[in-house]
Every structure is written in C-alpha cells, then in structure tokens.
Structure 1
Amino acid sequence: MAIETFDLKREWLREVLPDGLPVGETTVVSGPGGSGKPLIGFAAVKSWLESGGSVVFLLTNSGREFVDETMTELYDFDVDAYPDRLSFVDFDPTLEPSVEGMVVDDPIEANLLEPEVWDEALSTAIDRVGDDVLVFASALNLFLFSPTYGDDSLKAFVDTVERDDDHTYLFTVSTSAFEDDIARVEDASDTVLMTEMRDDRLFLRGERSDSVAVSIDEVQVPFTPEQLGTIKSVSEETRTSLIPTLKEL
C-alpha cells in the first residue's frame, strides 16, 4: 500500500522530496551545527499549518520568540494566526527531571532529559491540538551532552522514531558532536535529509528514505548569508550557555 505524503509547497523542497513528506513517519534533517536545519523545518511547518494540520514545537535551544521572528522574516508567516493548532514545549534543564516537575502551561516547560518526562510532555502537547499533528523538534543532539541522561535520552529518541502512531515527526540533529549516536536516530528514521554549508550558503539533499523518493543531488536553499547568520548566532549562544549546564547534569 502506498504511503500517504504531504506536499511541501516550496520548489527547493520538492526537488529533494518530489513525492512529498511521508505522513505518519519520521523525517530527520541532519548536518553540522549552525547550518540552518530549523529553517528548513519551518518551511514544512508553514505548509502543514496552511493545509489545516496542527503543529507541536519542541524547542531545545530557542524559544517561541525565535520561531515567531524567524518565520515572519523568512516566510512572511504569522504563527499566531493559528492559536488553536499550535502547542509549544520548552526544554528547561533547570527544572526537576520528573513529570511532577513539569510546568503545564503555555508553553509547557519540562526537563526533557528524563524519558518519562519526554513522553509525558509530548503526549500533553499533542492532546492539546488534536488530529493531523506534525511534531517538530530541533537540536536533539544537545540532550546527549548530559553524562547522566544522555544514553536514556538517545533511547527515547529512537523509541519515538520507531513509534507506531498516526503523527508525523520532523527532527533536526547536529552531526558536530556524538555523530555515532546521531547515526542511530538516522538509522531508525524513515527518511533522512542532509545539510551542508559552503561559502555562507546552505545546501540540502536527500540521503535515503524507506517510503518515498528522494533526490541525492544537492539543492541550494534560498536563504541569504544574513538569514543563515541568525541561526549561527543561536547555535553559538547554545554552545556557551546551555551545553555547559547539560554537562553538569
């Protein structure tokens, strides 16, 4: 039986995924840190919302303000126009790593290093927005910097990727650290796309897919060096603030 797919609208994404994004599966965008992977994910988020779906944002190294500002700048898109179909989960490693330590508000705040908390936060966020859900999670590799929880977090990611449910998952991961661990997430995923930065330009290609056609030819993503510089600055700020905290947990 042919898998259901979703048209991503953007021509440069169609070149890489000519059949569309596989629905009910996990797609991973992988590549070096600071190479604009979340910006690619935001293109899928825009198309998904415009087609009537709902989105859960799981944000590890940036907040809702970054999402709002970036999607407005890159895509002239107002996420606040879809309040009933958006749910946010903020990763806060300073909170107690337990379900009881979650702050179930808007956004949901939780120390997602504990797999039970990861599962509960995702389930709570998904329940808020209903059917046709795209779960978009960025910079999952950051969890692996925790010496106590890194292995458990990796298992939680793989279990989520392999989960048999109706939701569609789009994860971004950096290969700048823990490359072997990240490869386990890639191997478990249905579809893998790869990014590369050269001369302040972002390139995207398909690596493989178990269900849809992908092009292995590189496509230049039409972001300016200035726009890509924004994501680089977020990545650099993470290295100087969040990573040292995680290394102590």
Structure 2
Amino acid sequence: MQTIKTNIDWFDKLIPDGLPVKSTTIITGPGGSGKPLIGEYFLSSWLKNGGSAVIISLQYPSPEFVMESVKNITGTDMSNYYDNLIFIRLNTQIQGYEQINKQLIEANLVKPDVWEQTLDFTTKQLSANNPDIMVFVSALNLLLFSPTYGELIFNKIKDTLKRNTHLTYVFSVSTSAKKDEIAQLEKMADNLMVSRSEKEPFCLYMRIERLKAGQFEHNEIQIPVSADTLNHIKEMANHSRAQVLPAILKT
C-alpha cells in the first residue's frame, strides 16, 4: 500500500489521492467531536486491504467496544481480521505489560518505557506475517494527565512521531485540555485533521488541515453519521471522564 483510501465517496472527495502510509496522522478537536470515528474509517480500509493493526483505544473499556464502533460507522466486522489485530488495553494497576491472549495486551501505558516496550512487542509480533502495520491510538491525550508520568510520556510520544519511518500512525487527541502539548503534536504530524461538533442538533464536522503528500479538499464538511453513532460517542466520552481519567490521575 502506498496510500489508504476509504472507498467512501464523501471521504475520498476530501483526500482523492488517499492518506499516505508510513506517515503520522493527528486528528484533533474538542472532546466529543468524533475524532476516533474519523480514524476508524482509515482503520477499516487498512484491514480490508490486508494490513495489520495495533489498536490502543484509551476511551473504550474493552476491544468489543472498538469493534462495535467500527462496525456501526463503517460496516466492517473486525472479527474477520482477528489474526491481523492486537489490542492494547490500559491497565494502571500493573507495572509493565501482560499478554492476556493472542489478540489482547494489557499495559501501563502512562509509563514511557512500557509504551515503547509494548509497541515494540506488538509490532514485531504482527510484522512476522505482515510488514504493513498501522498503530491506531484514540484519546491519546488522556495519558498526559498522569501527575507522575505526564511530561515523560508526552516526550516519549513526540519521540515516537519524530523517529517513525516504517509504521502508519493514526492518533486522535482532544484539544479541550493540555492545549500547548497538543499544539506541539499537531506541528509534528505529517497529516493533520480537525473535527468539531454542534450540539442542537448534534452534528459532526471535519476538515483536512495538512497532508504529507497528495491533493486534498480544504473546505469543512459535515460527517454523515447516524444518531446511534452520535449517542455512542457521548457514551464513550462519559466513560473516559468517569473511569479512565480518574485511574490515570492516580498514577
């Protein structure tokens, strides 16, 4: 693969040449503006085209929620691609990382060394069968709230972006807090996309700010998603506030 095309008309009109592979993409916007679902379009297409993926969805309590979201948004059943997937679930109660089964790792990702070790371990496992690997991370900004490790993991994430030459990274981050740090990540990314929402009625919008290569449409568009999907976004935002963030604040 040289680029990722979603094969969805409205999305491919925005980036007719596709998203460059082996690049870093940051999707930013306020909380609850649908950033992960934008990335999930790319994830779906990546899997359909034979790629493998490491998935770190910090706002989701389990891989099943990720799979449900991707199916609701794109129609893709991720269970058809299980051999090409590894999920990493945040667990702040352990020291390092633990392999739960072939498809699931638990890791204390607020620690920079664990972040690096876990990514190295999972990408090496997948690369044995497939060199085309996407690292998909949603709600990445949550890690920055760790009182002990926040600055350290931020520097490690920047290092990950700077050193990348062979993986395709798709990160979604909220601009509702840690704005200075997020602005630094935005500047470092090869590709930058911005989302926002309106509340009454609840609608999502996105625009392409920058691409490493290829043509793109500059105008903002409304993302055509169902009411069920929008409600799912709200539920996950509530889970992040109620469960994930308090756990990270204790580290």
TM-score (norm 2): 0.92
Change (3 A) 1:75 1:210: closer
3-state SS in 1 of match to 2:53: strand
Structure 2 residue 101 is matched with structure 1 residue 109: no
Change (3 A) 1:14 1:140: same
Partner of 2:153: 153
Structure 2 residue 244 is matched with structure 1 residue 247: no
Structure 2 residue 119 is matched with structure 1 residue 122: yes
Partner of 2:38: 40
Structure 2 residue 152 is matched with structure 1 residue 137: no
In structure 1, what is the Cα distance between the partners aligned to 2:49 and 2:166? 17
3-state SS in 2 of match to 1:89: strand
CA contact (8 A) 1:54 1:134 kept: yes
Using the TM superposition, give the Cα deviation of residue 23 of structure 1 relative to its aligned residue in structure 2, in angstroms. 0.8
Partner of 2:213: 211
Using the TM superposition, give the Cα deviation of residue 59 of structure 1 relative to its aligned residue in structure 2, in angstroms. 2.1
Partner of 2:177: 177
3-state SS in 2 of match to 1:103: strand
Partner of 2:237: 235
What letter is aligned with 2:110? Answer: L
In structure 1, what is the Cα distance between the partners aligned to 2:23 and 2:74? 25
3-state SS in 2 of match to 1:105: strand
Change (3 A) 1:187 1:105: same
CA contact (8 A) 2:137 2:170 kept: yes
In structure 1, what is the Cα distance between the partners aligned to 2:10 and 2:92? 36
What letter is aligned with 2:209? Answer: E
Partner of 2:19: 21
Deviation sequence 1:9-47 (CA, Å, 0-9, x none): 122222322221111110111111111111111111111
In structure 2, what is the Cα distance between the partners aligned to 1:37 and 1:30? 7
What letter is aligned with 1:129? Answer: L
In structure 2, what is the Cα distance between the partners aligned to 1:76 and 1:117? 33
Q: Which moved more, 1:165-174 or 1:73-82?
A: 73-82
Q: How many residues get paired?
A: 243
Deviation sequence 1:43-71 (CA, Å, 0-9, x none): 11111111111111012121201112122
CA contact (8 A) 1:15 1:219 kept: no
In structure 2, what is the Cα distance between the partners aligned to 1:70 and 1:60? 14
In structure 2, what is the Cα distance between the partners aligned to 1:83 and 1:18? 29
What letter is aligned with 1:136? Answer: F
TM-score (norm 1): 0.92
CA contact (8 A) 1:201 1:224 kept: no
Using the TM superposition, give the Cα deviation of residue 144 of structure 1 relative to its aligned residue in structure 2, in angstroms. 1.0
In structure 2, what is the Cα distance between the partners aligned to 1:140 and 1:127? 22
CA contact (8 A) 1:36 1:232 kept: no
**CA RMSD across the alignment:** 1.6
What 5-or-longer segments of structure 1 have no aligned partner? none
In structure 1, what is the Cα distance between the partners aligned to 2:191 and 2:140? 16
Q: 1:52-71 maps to which residues of 2 (within 5 A)?
A: 52-62=50-60, 63-71=62-70
CA contact (8 A) 2:58 2:244 kept: no
CA contact (8 A) 2:111 2:153 kept: yes
What 5-or-longer segments of structure 2 have no aligned partner? none
